[in-house]
Chain A
Amino acid sequence: MKEFSEVAARGNEEDARKFLIDNLKKFPQDVQDKIVSGFFEEALTKKASGLHAVADFQKKGLGMISDLEQGKKKLEEKAKLLDLKKDIK
């Protein structure tokens, strides 16, 4: 525990995280469980926020496809109208 406090006191987060992993088995069992849980919860949050972003992206992407396809139809109509005008002339 003292060793970890020394590493943490140096102020480098990556070193502190690495220390926890490299020395996991030196901690009491309940502390080991809490450390693993800490990393797990962090990854869980990461996954949840990533999935929400994917769901949001799918909705936006599908919406944009539908908007562009409608836009294309309008352009085709516009082109047809132009052709008709030309024919009339």
Chain B
Amino acid sequence: MPIFEKFRKAEQEDKAKAAQEKGEKKIEGPTIKQILADKEQSRLFGMQLEEQGDNELAAKIISGQLSPEEISELSADRQNFLATMESVKAVRERLSSKNIEEIVALSPELQEIAGSVGPQGIREAVLRDLERLAIKDPGHFREISWAIEDIEQTEASIKDEDKKVSEICKKYKIGESEYLEAVRDNDNPNAIYDLVKSRMGWFKKHFSTPESIGAEIDGVSDRTADIKRLSAEYDSRLGGIAEALRATITDNENVWNALIADMQGQRVEKPEKEMAFSEFMSAPVNGEKIQSEWDAYKRAHAHDQGFSEEQAKADFASEYLDNNVLKKKKGFWSIVGKAVWESFIKGSLK
């Protein structure tokens, strides 16, 4: 075992020992032998070792050529692996089929893909990719995991407010049927979206603050007719708000999806860090520069333990994209860009 690797092992073992001394829970799970006996687990374990730079061990795992000594040296790596798999398991449990279907409903592209592979096929693809991310890009994995958790918490907080909204709707006599009256027998498939949009538009137009209400009351004349007019105006606003709020406690999936879509539509500009399609398109993924960088990379790593040209191409493509194209950008085109260009670069390198 090379000195560097021995040092890393000793460091990992020290860390595991320190964690145990601190009373951190040792994760129970499959033994090294059980992991290695399972084709999928062993592939992921190999991926983790590759990521840590243990190319030699990773290659031995993949080819099933580990010696008993090497197997016993993997115990610290096993703990890390089990911890990673526990995080993936937590996300897997959160991503129920129902959750997936709700998310699919918000994306015309996913709906189309679900048409051929079903929501379950989408769930499987997402989970496979999450396992990969948990090992290869833990930061990105955590972002997705937090987003799923955040959705769960926000839904719970909406549910709490639902009781208050429900009382308000009862008070102002706004039921689901009254809400949907306007779109009943309407042939327009976008009628529900139009209805939600108009209600939300109304709310924005009539939005008032305690200060503006205070100013209206202070400004009303001392004539009974004017006071009554303002009071009637408030009644109308109260009914309007109750009607707009009614959409948030709906049992109708279409109304809910229309509401989320309308709310999301308010975000006009994409965040700065999101990769635009134009950036994706103009990515420098071919030409002499990349080939000469690859030649240099190959020369620098050719004598590494367990060097494989195939793996080196994948590592180089990933590193090249991170440094030259993606530059910590997020969003759809950065994810797809990384997948597509990585494959393209690996295929074009000589």
Contact = CB atoms under 8 A, between A and B. Distances in A.
B234 A46 contact: no
B263 A54 contact: yes
Interface in B26-64: none
Interface residues of A, number: 62
Contacts, number: 205
Interface stretch (B65-73, B145-153, B175-183): B145-153
B241 A35 contact: no
A58 B261 contact: no
Interface string B332-345: 11011011100110
A30 B234 CA distance: 58
Interface in A12-38: 13, 16-17, 20-21, 24-25, 27-28, 30-38
A16 B280 CA distance: 11
A88 interface: no
A5 to B, nearest CB: 7
Contacts of B244: 57, 61
A54 B158 contact: yes
Interface string B199-232: 0100100011110011011001010100110110
B168 to A, nearest CB: 6
A42 B126 CA distance: 12
Interface residues of B, number: 78
Interface string B165-209: 100100000000000000000000000000000001001000111
Q: Looking at chain B's contact residues, is the secondary structure mostly helix, strand, loop, or mixed?
A: helix
A28 to B, nearest CB: 6
Contact of A40 (B110, B230, B231, B248): B110
Q: Which of B104, B203, B335 has the most chain A CB within a 10 Å cutoff?
A: B335
B264 A46 contact: yes
B151 A47 contact: yes
A30 B133 CA distance: 12
Contacts of A83: 224
Given A49-B267, A55-B154, A64 B336 contact: no
Nearest to B256: A54
A74 B208 CA distance: 16
Interface of B: 102-104, 106-107, 109-110, 112-113, 116, 122, 125-126, 128-130, 132, 144, 147-148, 150-151, 154-155, 157-158, 161, 164-165, 168, 200, 203, 207-210, 213-214, 216-217, 220, 222, 224, 227-228, 230-231, 234-235, 237-238, 241-242, 244-245, 248, 259-261, 263-264, 266-267, 277-278, 280-281, 331-333, 335-336, 338-340, 343-344, 347
